Amino acid sequence: MKTIEDYNFNGRKALIRVDFNVPLNSELEITDDTRIRAAIPTISKILNDGGAVILMSHLGRPKEGPEHKFSLGHLVDHLSEVFNRQVKFANDCIGEEASTLSSELKSGEILLLENLRFYKEETKGDKAFAKELSQHGNIYINDAFGTAHRAHASTSIIAKFFTDKACGFVMKAELENAQKVLEQSEKPFTAIMGGAKISDKILIIEQLLGKVDNLIVGGGMSYTFFKAMGGSIGSSLCEDDKLDLAKDLIRKAKELNVNLMLPIDSVISDAFSNEANTQIAMNHAIPEGWMGLDIGPQAAQVFSDTVKESKTILWNGPMGVFEMSSFAAGTQSVAEAIVEATSNGAFSLIGGGDSAAAINTFGFGDKVSYVSTGGGALLEYMEGKTLPGVAALSQD
């Protein structure tokens, strides 16, 4: 697979699949431009080489064709500011207007196409739609790692129509950092899995059991393990159809000599609310009518000590409902331990989604080795699956 560094873009028109699926408020203003900033090095390299840039992306999940609130037109002013030039905008991603704008684009100029998902053909991976999109440029760059696990028209099918194709800097960094954890991890290697359901993480847990020294399990999924072991978990989250799976994972960890760490205690609450009554309970003895919403202080201490002694750390999923301040302490303590370990030379990869949101909420985004923007794509890559968006760049 070629990378953006393998090409000089002088006189070229680069069609770039970016991930500009940014959050907008009710005034349709960008509230977090992390994904836009992530794409700056890729876009700047092409402009500095003397090339022209055509950007395509999705935004939100429009149901039936164009919807004003999902228009990428809302991003034009911000993009013009970021790149210090007027970004042109096409009111469609295909058709005569878009085609004219891209064909007349000069070196140093940027054109943003309208939301790809205004066409159902995008998510269906339609070949004719992909071919029409491909007419906009003479070299294809995919820098949207967050959608690389989807075989959509703009992320994988389109590559067939280009001789010259490569990954951008975001995609390159995501793959390199994931590979570093999977193939070049320094021991001790600790994976921290959180979130609500075992079923969401089962494949990655099974992959990691053969690689890690310590597997820390927190968040809602931990209560399924405690129930499987015969504990009383009150009204805590539990997947009753996954109790045998939890027992199986405990057995596999033991066989592989992996230290599977479950939280000894929890912050429990009598309602799913920041203002509800709370207390600390041992996880095998949570009273009826109470639910665990964060790991407790003992668990936080034990987990943090293990993390601080690690040389490679993968974190995917929070320890509790960190969005509520009453249940954020466990997630924050783990985040602080990762920061300390990183400052002492450990390599830390923060999986996308809630973990990335948590690390940024606590202000630690620049104090860990790498924060993935990938979410589901990173999970699937770690599970050993082939990502269509990555595979497409490797094909002739």
Residue 104 CA to residue 100 CA, distance in Å, equals 6
Amino acid at 307: V
Helix, strand, or coil (residue 335): helix
Is residue 69 part of the annotated active site? The answer reads no
Burial class (CB in 10 A: 0-12, 13-18, 19+), 241: exposed
Determine which one of 195, 353, 374, 375 is catalytic. 353
Is the bond preceding residue 318 a cis peptide, omega within 30 degrees? no
Q: Give the residue from 20, 142, 40, 144 showing the smallest Cα distance to 82.
A: 40
Is residue 389 part of the annotated active site? The answer reads no
Helix, strand, or coil (residue 288): coil
Who's near 323: CB < 8 A, 6+ residues apart? none
Amino acid at 198: I
Amino acid at 376: G
Is residue 35 part of the annotated active site? The answer reads yes
- Determine contact, residues 158/141, Cβ cutoff 8 Å: no
Determine which one of 35, 150, 211, 227 is catalytic. 35
Determine which one of 197, 252, 311, 367 is catalytic. 197
The CA–CA distances, whole Å, from 196 to 250, 259, 293, 337 equal 18, 21, 10, 22
Q: Give the residue from 308, 328, 306, 307 showing the smallest Cα distance to 319.
A: 328
Determine which one of 60, 73, 108, 376 is catalytic. 376
E strands, the chain, are 13-17, 52-56, 88-89, 110-112, 139-142, 165-167, 189-193, 214-217, 232-233, 259-261, 265-269, 278-282, 285-286, 291-295, 312-316, 347-350, 370-371
Q: What is the DSSP string of 13-28?
A: EEEEE------B-TTS
Euclidean distance between the first and the last CA atom of the chain, given in angstroms as a whole number? 10
**φ/ψ (deg, to 5) at 305:** -60, -40
Is residue 60 part of the annotated active site? The answer reads no
Sheet of 370-371: strands edge to edge? Answer: 259-261, 214-217, 189-193, 312-316, 347-350, 370-371
- Catalytic residue numbers, as ranges: 35, 197, 353, 376
